[in-house]
Chain A
């Protein structure tokens, strides 16, 4: 019952987010279509009206508050239910802890994109623990596995908070194409602003078609200014201007978007390195966060991405997006353990509030429980 409510709530929230999409300037485009085509369809008109009403509501009130925790649970429920029943079923079907049980657990981990190597390490450790602690109940194995994952992922004094204190701070957002950089920036700007920070965005993706317009729309939604040049401009120059504006306006956090780039393209990575160096040189006094955005749907390639981006731009944190799907993002385990780069944010939807802090506990639970 409770779950049903939450699910509905989430739906409503998604619609809510879409309502925000309405913008005046689109009317011009609509008019291009012959009038009779639209008039014919009453449905369309009424939808438009409804949506417009929705829009007023949005503007009047502050957005509905849904607790972050609720949202996270909502977003991860699907993921959780899926894998949980799987593990529980496996555990139920075993009377004793044997090799076959380990094989099945291996399958669960690999299917969650944990990767073969990491899975083998985890299972080996688990096997040892089981032997040492003389565990004979299959049910207890689950807790041990969770523990092993946590142990592998967490480092002492790993900081999961964004590096944005003290002000001023600059957040450089990087990643391969389509992972969710721009969307994450929109969500993040919104959140930081709500926390009372003065935020500014720089539109460093001058390459992709309409990337600037996309970011500007997010700026509108979040109520944050966007510094931009035109398409095709030098991205380093945009970042430079962003930094100057951030200084002049005394903003707390400057968030810089960059074009999506595949990590194996050296010319594009050189360009990124140039941008990175400009932030170092021109905004030396700023607290720095270089955020790599990874798509949870991505498999083992995420590891390569992280390694190369880290070489070029000193990654300090990871944002893991699209966890609202069925992908588990298990590659994060190896990534965090090998590269010691903490995941700081997770994206759980396309709405402006669908951004959450990363909590190891919850992530591991989402994979195992």
Chain B
């Protein structure tokens, strides 16, 4: 299989040289070939792969390679970040109507798992102290109504049925009335599975939609779906304006590229994932997990993580020494800034650091802009000044401010901050020492 040897190929095909400056087009091209194959093997739609690869390539070329990563790994790191971004937010919530009942319309192909998922959703909402009502609108598949009734009984949620001789549109309408009368605040409508090209049945579900005006239209999609996922998602979205997706059977071993395909064509959030046949096995969707699952380069990714941890540990060790001996300079400071910038959003990174507790972070308000400013100021210092900030007198301050396009106040502020940071760092390290540190020391920053 392609992806089994993928990481190996990556290691071989690409230069083993670590951290060699910026990513060249050749580096990126080579790594992207493997990425493309991986995504296709994961069933991401061909066109979606093409667009994705093109976009990420543009972003990757010219970006800095982290020390201790190979260029190939660096590309994968970027790919994984972009993929995670594309998977959307962690958004496991149902939007409730301001004037209950909230109507949820379930839709999808045959065999996707709508009925089971309806039951799971009802169970989930019940736990949130809602009073859901399940509605049986699948009048076609034999025993579909019975199935929903059994499911409803298991989760102790009432099921509204009118048998299979009544038009589903009328069933849905009657259910809404019934729900209002009986104090149900969420109405979950289970519908028959239908092909997105079945004109008659697509029209039927459109009619259900306009009859009950649902707050949520959830497309239920099998995680094993292949290239066709784009057609399915596009058609249902066009006809019904879906508000979200539930990806089922994710407890299988499918790579689940369909998730990316449908995100690409609908931009709608994946709200939940089905993780088993039991009715409590509905879980929130994790964009990052989904991304690395689709990419299927778990080993490369963990390698990158390790590399990242290594470089952090190494630098941290050096820093620690410097701090203890009070040799921490503006150059180190700048270095840290660079490192942090390449890692992603600042507050997130800071939050992850072991040495820093989140309380201390609260008062800290650092934006990317601040960092750029700080960098500019430091870069306007001479080598001597960076190593020995004590020599920076008022005329030097003026010069630095002018050179960095900032004000003397800015420079003053930074100098003061730097001094305090140094002090604080010393305290941190001393503290850690007495606490018999676990060998881990993150960025002792700010």
Contacts and interface: CB of A to CB of B under 8 A. Distances in A.
Contact of B140 (A27, A176, A350): A350
Contacts of A78: 197
Contacts of B147: 208-211, 213-214
B163 A207 contact: no
A327 B227 contact: yes
A309 interface: no
Contact of A21 (B46, B139, B149): B139
B353 interface: no
A47 B171 CA distance: 14
Interface string B91-117: 000000000000000000111110100
A302 B253 CA distance: 10
B190 interface: no
- Which DSSP category, helix, strand, loop or mixed, fits chain B's interface? loop
B165 interface: yes
Contacts of A43: 167, 170
B174 A37 contact: yes
Contacts of B195: 322, 324-326
B176 to A, nearest CB: 12
Interface in A296-325: 297-302, 304, 322, 324-325
Contacts of A178: 110-113, 222, 249
Interface in B268-307: 277
Contact of B43 (A107, A112, A299, A328): A299
A93 interface: no
Nearest to B256: A301
Interface size bracket, A side? 35 or more
B249 A262 contact: yes
Interface size bracket, B side? 35 or more
B150 A210 contact: yes
A116 B40 contact: yes
Contact of B110 (A30, A111, A298, A350): A350
B162 interface: yes
Contacts of A298: 222, 224-226
B142 A214 contact: yes
A110 B46 contact: yes
Contacts of A33: 162, 166, 174
A295 B110 CA distance: 10
A261 B255 CA distance: 17
Nearest to B162: A33
Interface of B: 1-2, 37, 40-43, 45-46, 109-113, 115, 139-147, 149-151, 154, 161-167, 170, 174, 177, 195-197, 200, 222, 224-228, 231-232, 249, 251-255, 257-258, 277
19 contacts: A33-B166, A41-B170, A47-B165, A78-B197, A111-B46, A115-B40, A116-B37, A177-B111, A213-B147, A295-B222, A297-B228, A297-B232, A298-B222, A301-B224, A301-B252, A301-B254, A322-B110, A324-B195, A331-B226
